Chains A and B, each alone.
Chain A
């Protein structure tokens, strides 16, 4: 039997008659970076709370590191590093005091690795928590999650509010944790983040799992809206033969299209002409859901 770090079986959580999470079954393996991808309100934070044993499921069950979070919560929480979506704490406490207090809960002194992590993120630990912006608060909780050798890191929207430098630090730390054999389980509403970082991604929609994709598969499904201007008019036929090009619109020297997956072939064709302008945009998660999974605001 496979050893799974996180296993949920038909997990459901209803608040009165409202469904927050419905029949979610997940298998997270050791040493894996696993994301739950979904738009706001899709049930990601509820799922995290269920996995942590903070709330009781209406149906189904959760096992984390082979333990039931509701019954063996104390032992389990020793082995989990958690960062909340919007962490709050005593506003007058300095960053290092917060980390020291949190370390005390594990009967550990504040290690130098905490200061090192804060330095990597560019966080000043001598400032009071109340003076931190949302991004800095998020960083402080990420430092807390990573500063112990937790077997599993459970992170709720870890990159929301972070600048690009801090995001890169987070990506690096997550990959490092994976190479050390630790598991990173996090929620995100960014497709880009999921495809860049994750081994597997569960796509959540209105509390239900639509699909579980490998990172590679997700990259193949990536959509990019391309807008290009060329120095001279180009022939439509040059692009029309490309298999992963959709909604192609060409008007003299201006091209608009939607590119799916690998951009290599498209760029090779385009580079035969002199390009004067280039814009690439990623469509919303909603659109990805609509195109590939038939759900979403515009779904039929």
Chain B
């Protein structure tokens, strides 16, 4: 049943996947094509540290370009799963069938992990094409460093989980989307302040952006980043599965419907 469900969902989102995948691929090629003409030298130090501005532009690719380019469509899709009324009603109906709840959860959650992996794959192909075909002299290894892509994947997964949880509780796609993209943007902004303002240095340790940045930078502190990103994702995935199993998805739409009707009484 689980493969059938994932295949069914994949078939439903094939056009979305092709469009997003092609968009990511083309955007990376374009970015790698234009970065030689860009100069990050005049940026203030704190900003350089925040967005990891380096000479080749690969750091910025992983801080400013890919998290937003891939994060926004992925989070929107994930929030729709648990926030959109039609999707929730479909899940509510599926829950009346003799199918275990954890299979239904894994079908939806696994499908979004698959989407993430496919987009990451599209990004890697774009990076490889950009580095080898268009930019003969560019170092392929700095773009295709596996650790960077894994870190990006974990960071995007974190956003997906936040989007799903918010959408599930609010029964609204846009709340889910806003929460996840807001978390990413605010986290980036506060991380910048913590680099710039000395007495806010401590702030970075509570920001997901910090842990993401240290993992893509590598080095000794990357270890902390991996533990944080892996741990928080596990925690959020487990929490989401538990809340789903408790039937929250069925309570919220019924609640909003009943609330409307009861108000009309």
Mark A residues whose CB is within 8 Å of B: 15, 18-20, 40-41, 43, 45-46, 49, 52, 54-56, 74, 77-78, 80, 82, 84, 86-90, 92-93, 101-102, 104-106, 206
Contacts and interface: CB of A to CB of B under 8 A. Distances in A.
26 contacts: A15-B251, A15-B254, A20-B258, A40-B261, A46-B254, A49-B250, A52-B96, A54-B92, A54-B96, A54-B247, A55-B247, A55-B254, A56-B247, A82-B96, A84-B89, A84-B93, A87-B89, A87-B93, A88-B89, A90-B12, A92-B11, A102-B97, A104-B4, A105-B97, A105-B99, A206-B265
A38 B232 CA distance: 47
A55 B248 CA distance: 8
A54 B250 contact: yes
Contact of B90 (A41, A89, A104, A106): A89
Interface in B1-31: 1, 4, 8, 11-12
B8 A101 contact: yes
Chain B interface bracket (under 10, 10 to 19, 20 to 34, 35 or more)? 20 to 34
B114 interface: no
Contacts of A86: 89
A87 B89 CA distance: 7
A14 B86 CA distance: 24
Q: Determine which residue in B95, B96, B251, B255 has the highest number of CB atoms from chain A within 10 A of its CB, and name it.
A: B96
A75 to B, nearest CB: 8
Dominant SS at the B interface? helix
Contacts of A40: 261
Nearest to B9: A90
The 5 closest A-B pairs by CB, nearest first: A41-B261, A105-B97, A77-B98, A78-B98, A88-B89
Interface of B: 1, 4, 8, 11-12, 86, 89-90, 92-93, 95-100, 247, 250-251, 254-255, 257-259, 261-262, 264-265
A82 B95 CA distance: 11
A105 B1 CA distance: 7
Contacts of A19: 262
A92 B262 CA distance: 35
A26 to B, nearest CB: 19
Contacts of A105: 1, 97-99
Contacts of A88: 86, 89-90, 93
Contact of B258 (A46, A78, A80): A46
Nearest to B257: A45
Dominant SS at the A interface? loop
Contacts of A78: 98
Contact of B264 (A41, A101, A104): A41
A34 to B, nearest CB: 19
A45 B251 CA distance: 12
Contacts of B259: 15, 18
Nearest to B101: A73
Nearest to B86: A88
A82 to B, nearest CB: 5
B258 A18 contact: yes
Contacts of B93: 84, 87-89
Contacts of A52: 96
Nearest to B264: A41
A84 B254 CA distance: 13
Contacts of A102: 97
Contacts of B4: 101, 104
A92 B12 contact: yes
A286 to B, nearest CB: 12
A101 B96 CA distance: 14
Contacts of A45: 254, 257
Contact of A55 (B99, B250, B262): B250
Contacts of B254: 15, 20, 45-46, 49, 55
B97 A15 contact: no
Nearest to B248: A55
A94 B86 CA distance: 17
A234 to B, nearest CB: 43
A56 B249 CA distance: 12
Contacts of B1: 104-105
Nearest to B11: A92
B255 A15 contact: yes
Contacts of B92: 54, 84
B160 to A, nearest CB: 21
Contacts of A82: 96
Contacts of B257: 45
Nearest to B14: A92
Contacts of B98: 74, 77-78, 105-106
A5 to B, nearest CB: 17
A78 B98 CA distance: 5
B30 to A, nearest CB: 32
Nearest to A86: B89
B97 A77 contact: yes
Given A77-B96, A101-B8, A90 B90 contact: yes
Nearest to A206: B265
A86 B99 CA distance: 21
